[in-house]
Homo-oligomer: A and B are copies of this chain.
Amino acid sequence: MKPRRNTWQREAVRAALVGAHGFVSAQQLHQTLRDSGSTIGLATVYRALASLTEDGEADSIQAPEGENLFMSCGSTGHHHHLICRSCGAARELDATVVEEWASKVGAEHGFAEIEHVIDLFGICAACRAKEA
């Protein structure tokens, strides 16, 4: 882990990320912070998110639309998510089955350095209740 200075900006991003409860985009996070009176710059939000992700304090995924989404994340190990398309809420998943499938399939086809992108998107119970 690289040396990091503690700045209020970095702390603000961390706090906003925790407060978001689910996946949010860097842009959303920046807007939220500005709306609450912060003068933080967009580039700084990106920088803070990148370093938090690097340090394992945050997880990032690619939304189907191509945007990068971030979420504060306790469990440090590799894991996957089930994300609500509507509100961004996420559940961590135990994907042992799939991990095994991935490495087996990779090996079978003679591929090395297998990485996998596995994410589930849906509409959570709460959001469905809201819409009805």
Contacts and interface: CB of A to CB of B under 8 A. Distances in A.
Interface of A: 62, 64, 66, 68, 82, 84-85, 91, 93, 95, 97-98, 101-102, 105-106, 109-125, 128
Contacts of A95: 101
Contacts of A118: 98, 116-118
Contacts of A82: 105-106, 109, 111
17 contacts: A62-B62, A62-B66, A64-B115, A66-B66, A66-B68, A82-B106, A82-B111, A84-B111, A102-B120, A106-B120, A110-B124, A111-B124, A113-B123, A115-B122, A116-B119, A117-B119, A117-B121
A27 to B, nearest CB: 14
A109 B128 CA distance: 13
Contacts of A113: 85, 122-123
A121 to B, nearest CB: 5
B123 A111 contact: yes
